[in-house]
A and B are shown apart, each in its own frame.
Chain A
Amino acid sequence: MRIVPFLVSAVATAGLVYALNRPLGSLPMAAGKFLSPQYGFWQNAEPASKSFDEELSFSGLKGKAEVYFDDRLVPHVFAENDEDLYFIQGYLHAKFRLFQMDLQTRAAAGRASEFAGAKAINFDKEQRRLGMVFAAENALKEIEKDPVSKAAFDAYTSGINAYIGSLREADIPIEYKLMNVKPEKWSNLRSALLLKMMAKMLSSGTEHDLAYTNAKAVFMPEELNKLYPQVPDSLLPIVPKGTVFEKPAIIPVQPASADSLYFGKKDTVSVKEISRPNENNGSNNWVVSGSKTQSGAPILCNDPHLEMSLPSIWYEIQLQTPVSNAYGVSIPGAPFIIIGFNDSIAWGVTNSQRDVKDYYEIRFKDKTRKEYWFNNQWTAARLQVEEIKVKGGAVVFDTVAYTVYGPVMYDESFQGTDSSGRGRNLALRWTAHDPSNEGFTFYKLNRAKNYDDYVNAIATFQCPGQNFVFASKNGDIALWQQGKFPARWKGQGLYVMPGEDSSYMWQGFIPQPENPHAKNPERGYLQSGNQRPADSAYPYFIPGTYLTARAITIDNKLAAMTSITPADMMKLQNDYFNTTAEDVRPLLMRYVQMDELNATDKKYLDLIKKWDLNASADSKEQTIYNHWWGMVTYGIWYYYANGLDSLTRAKMVKPTDQTILEMIIKDSSCLNVKLKGKTVKWNIVTSSLKVTSGFFELRLKKGNGLEWYKTNHPAIYHIADASRNSLLPFARTKLHIGGNNDIINAVKGSHGPSWRMIVHMTTPTEAYAVYPGGQSGNPGSKFYDSFVDKWVEGQYNKLWFMREGDKTDKNVKWVMKFKKG
C-alpha cells in the first residue's frame, strides 16, 4: 500500500515545482528558476576577473573587424567598412545594454504594460495618443529612403539581432528574469522609436499650452505678460546680444478672429497629462576659441542634463574605419556617436527648449469620432485601433482619431472630460511627427572635417531642436540652434487653438539658414544653457520653456577667463555658483523686516548674509536659501492668484524664478499681503523666513542635518524602477554632491549632468569625460557603476583616442575578433 504515499509525494513535488514557477510575492519572477544557479540570477554574477576576449563569426558581416577594450571596458572598434562598423556597434549595445534598449523602445511605443502590468495602461495610452509609433514610422520611411542611411541602420539592427540570436536563456539580462519577460528582436523601427523617445523627452514638455490656457481664462492680457514674459530682462542669449538679424523670409499673419476666438476666449481645460517630460531636462555646452586658451587651440565642453539612470543613457565607444574615426557617447538603441569628436572637429548638444507642439480643439460630429468639422464640412478622421497587451491582464483597446493636425491626444475616452462632464477633444500638431532622419545628422557629424561639413550635417536635423556647439582643429568655433521651428504670429500656439478651420494652422517654418547661430565671435566664446537663443531683435515669435540663470553664470565666468586649460573647464563644469541667489539675496535683505525677527530667525538670516553663494553638497545656506526663496516665490504666486481656488491654480503653472525675481525688482508691492483690504504686518519675505527658521529648527531637533545634499537627494535609480523603491539595491543613492537645476553642476535629485565632456582641439586631441554610470548594464558586473564615484567627485577619465598603431598597446585589455562566417 505504498500507492498513497507515492501519490502524496508526487503531488507535493509537482505542487512545489508549480509554486516555484510562479511569481514570488510582489516580484513577477519565477522563484525556482530565478534561484537556480544554472538558469537564474547567479548566471548574471560576472566573475571579477572575466575576460572579454572572444572570436566571433557572423554571416551578416562583410569582412574582418576587431574590438579593443580598454580597462574601463570602452570598446575601440576597428572595421573595414561602415556596415561592419554599425553591425558591431549594434552587437556591443545589445551585449552590454540589451534590457534598457528593449524596455525604452517598448515604452516609447506604448507597450510598458507588457513589463509593468495594468498600472502602465494610461502611460501606454498616452504614448500611443501622442503618436509615438506614427512618428517613428514616418521617420523610418525617411531613414530607409537614403541608401547610405538604410545600410547603416540595417547593419546596426542585424548586429543587435545577431547577439540576441546567440543568447542562451541563462544569459539574458537579470532584469528579464526579475520581470519574467523575454527579449524581443530588434528592427529599424525600434531605432526610430528610440530617437522619438528623445524627441518626446526634449520637445514635448517645452510648452505650457494647457496651463497657459487655464491662466488666460482668469488673468487679463497684461497680467499674462507679467507672469509669463517672453524675454527676460537679464537674458544673455546664445547668439550674442546686438547681433543683426536678416529680414525674415516668412511673416505669418494672425487670423482675423484671433482676438475673440483665441486671445479673448476664457475657457479652461482640465486634461491631466500622464507622463510629461521632466522640466529639468536641459544641458550646458560652451566652446572657447584659441584666443582664450593657453594652448591656442579651442576647447569644447558639453554636459547634457537628463534623468540619470543605471544603466546610463550613454555608452562610450570609439568607431573607426579606414575613412572615419570618431569617439564619444552613443545611445544604446541607435547607431552612431551622438556627442563626441573625431580627428578634425568636436561637437555637443543642449536642448533648444523651443515650443514645437500645439493643441487644436476638435469638434466631432458624434461620439464615434469618425468625422470632425473642418473648413465648413464634416471631414473623415482616420481611426486607429490600438491594442495594448497587459502583463497578467486582458488586452486593452483604445481608438485614436487622426486629424489634419495629427492625433487627437485627449478626448472623452481619455483624460479629456472636465469636471462638468463635458468632453474636450485636443488634437496635436507636433514637429516630431514630420518625416525626418535625425540619426543621419550624427552619421555626418561623425565624419565632418570642418565648419561647412558641420553645417551641412545639422541642417536636416528637425526635432528635438538642439543647440549644436562646434569646434575644429583649424580654429573655428560655432553654435547653431537647429531644428524645424514653426514661424508663428505673435501669441500663436501659447494656448489651445481653434481647430475648426485652417486659419490657425502653422503657416510655414522658419527657413533653416535663419535659425539663430553664431560663428567665431570676437569675444572668443559661445555658450548655451537652455536660455532663449536670441534677444527680442530676433524677428520671429519663439515661445519655449527657457532657463536664464545657468547661462548667465556660464557667460560671466567665460567672459572673465583667459589662458584657459582643460583643468579650468573641469572646474567650471563642476561649478556650484548660484547666480539666482546672487540676485535674490539683496532683495531678501532689503525687504525682510528686521524688527519683526526673533533670535532664531536672525540666526538663519545671518547664515544667508555670509553665504559664499555656492550650492555645494555640504552647504547649509543653499538649503535655507532654497526653502526661503521657494516660500517667497510660492507666496507671491499664491497671492497673485488670490481668489482662485487651489484646483484652478494647480491647473496653471507657477511663473519661473527669474520672472518672480524681476517682478520684485520692478515693483516690490507684490511682497505685501493684504487681507480684507488691510496690509498684513509681515510681508512675504519676512513670513517666509519665519516659516523657514521654524521648519529647520524642528529638523535640527530631530537630528537631521541641513546639508544641501540631504535635501536635494542626489541619486541614480535603476532604469526600470519607476517607483524608486522596488530595485533600490540596483541604484546609487545618497550621493555626496551639490548643485541644482539653475547651477552649472545641475544635479537635482536624480536629474543632472549625464555626461561631462571636455575636448581640447590640439594634435593629438586631448579629451576628458565622465558619466554617472558604467559601461556594463549588468548589476552583477563591476563595470555597472564604475564611473559614479569619479563623477560625484568631479573627476574625469582621460579618453584614449586609439590609433591603428596602438593595437599592441598596454591599454588594450581584451580583444574581440569578428569575421564573416
Chain B
Amino acid sequence: MKFITATILTVLLAFIAGILSFSPWWGFAITSFLVAILVHQKGWKAFLSGFLGLFLLWAGLAWWIDMQNNSLLSSKIAAILPLGGNSVLLILVTGFVGGLVSGLAAITGSYLRVSSHK
C-alpha cells in the first residue's frame, strides 16, 4: 500500500513541480525526496517508488505527446542523439533518466528518515 501511495504521490508532485514556472527542470528531485521522507519505505523500495513514479510520468507524457505528433520530432531527435531514429527507445531513455534522478532522490530521503529516527 505504501509503495503505491508513494509512487502516486511521486507522480503527482513531480507533475506539479513541472508546471511551476519558478521550478527548475529537476524540481521533481526535491518532491521525490520529500515523498520518501513522508511515506517512509526501506531504501530499495523507496528507490523503486521514486524511479517508477518518474519513469511512468516522463515516459507516459513523452508517449502521449509523441502519439499526437505522429513521432515526427522524436524520430528526428532520436537520429541526432543518436538512438538510430527510434522513437520508442527515446521515450524509454526519457523515462529512465527521469526515473534514475527521482529514484536516487527518493533513496536519499529514505535514508534521512532513518537517520533522523535514531
Contact = CB atoms under 8 A, between A and B. Distances in A.
A779 interface: yes
Most A CB within 10 A of own CB, among B61, B65, B100: B65
Interface stretch (A6-14, A265-273, A342-350): A6-14
Contacts of B38: none
22 contacts: A2-B111, A5-B111, A9-B104, A10-B108, A13-B101, A16-B101, A17-B29, A35-B98, A36-B58, A36-B98, A37-B58, A37-B62, A38-B61, A39-B18, A42-B61, A42-B62, A42-B65, A42-B66, A45-B69, A46-B69, A726-B80, A730-B76
Contacts, number: 122
Nearest to B66: A45
B112 to A, nearest CB: 6
Contacts of A728: 79
Given A33-B25, A36-B98, A47-B69, 5 more contacts: A6-B114, A20-B26, A39-B25, A42-B73, A45-B74
- Among A17, A44, A781, chain B packs the most CB atoms within 10 A around the CB of A17
A56 interface: no
B48 interface: no
B65 A45 contact: yes
Contact of A42 (B21, B29, B94): B94
Interface of A: 2-3, 5-6, 9-10, 12-13, 16-17, 20-21, 24, 27, 30-33, 35-49, 168-169, 174, 178, 726-730, 779-782
Given A39-B25, A168-B21, A782 B72 contact: yes
Interface residues of B, number: 43
A39 B15 CA distance: 11
A35 B18 CA distance: 13
B77 interface: yes
A32 B85 contact: no
A49 B68 contact: yes
Interface in B40-81: 43, 57-58, 61-62, 65-66, 68-70, 72-77, 79-81
B19 interface: yes
B85 to A, nearest CB: 7
Contacts of A45: 65-66, 68-69, 72-74
A782 B93 CA distance: 24
A14 to B, nearest CB: 9
Given A6-B115, A13-B29, A779-B76, A35 B69 contact: no
Given A32-B101, A46-B69, A47-B69, A38 B19 contact: yes
A780 B66 CA distance: 10
B75 to A, nearest CB: 8
A38 B18 contact: yes
From B58, B80, B105, residue with most partner A Cβ within 10 Å: B80
Interface of B: 15, 18-19, 21, 25-26, 29, 33, 43, 57-58, 61-62, 65-66, 68-70, 72-77, 79-81, 85, 93-94, 97-98, 100-101, 104-105, 107-108, 111-112, 114-115, 118
Chain B binding surface, main DSSP class: helix
B101 A35 contact: no
A323 B21 CA distance: 43
A19 to B, nearest CB: 10
A99 to B, nearest CB: 15
Contacts of A782: 70, 72
A31 B19 CA distance: 19
B65 A729 contact: no
Of all A-B residue pairs in the complex, the 9 with the closest CB atoms, nearest first, are A780-B73, A38-B18, A6-B111, A37-B61, A45-B69, A47-B68, A729-B76, A729-B79, A13-B104
A40 B91 CA distance: 13
Contact of B97 (A2, A21, A32, A47): A32
Contact of A729 (B26, B69, B85): B85
Given A16-B104, A27-B80, A44 B21 contact: no
B101 A2 contact: no
A13 B69 contact: no
Contact of B73 (A31, A38, A41, A169): A41
Contacts of B81: 24
A32 B26 contact: yes
Given A13-B101, A32-B25, A48-B69, A37 B111 contact: no
Nearest to A19: B101
A285 to B, nearest CB: 35
Contact of B101 (A6, A20, A174, A178): A20
Nearest to A18: B26
Nearest to B18: A38
A41 B69 contact: no
Contacts of A10: 108
A13 B31 CA distance: 13
A717 to B, nearest CB: 14
Contacts of A27: 80
Given A27-B80, A729-B79, A729-B85, A2 B61 contact: no
Contacts of A168: 21
A9 B29 CA distance: 12
A6 B108 contact: yes
Nearest to B69: A45
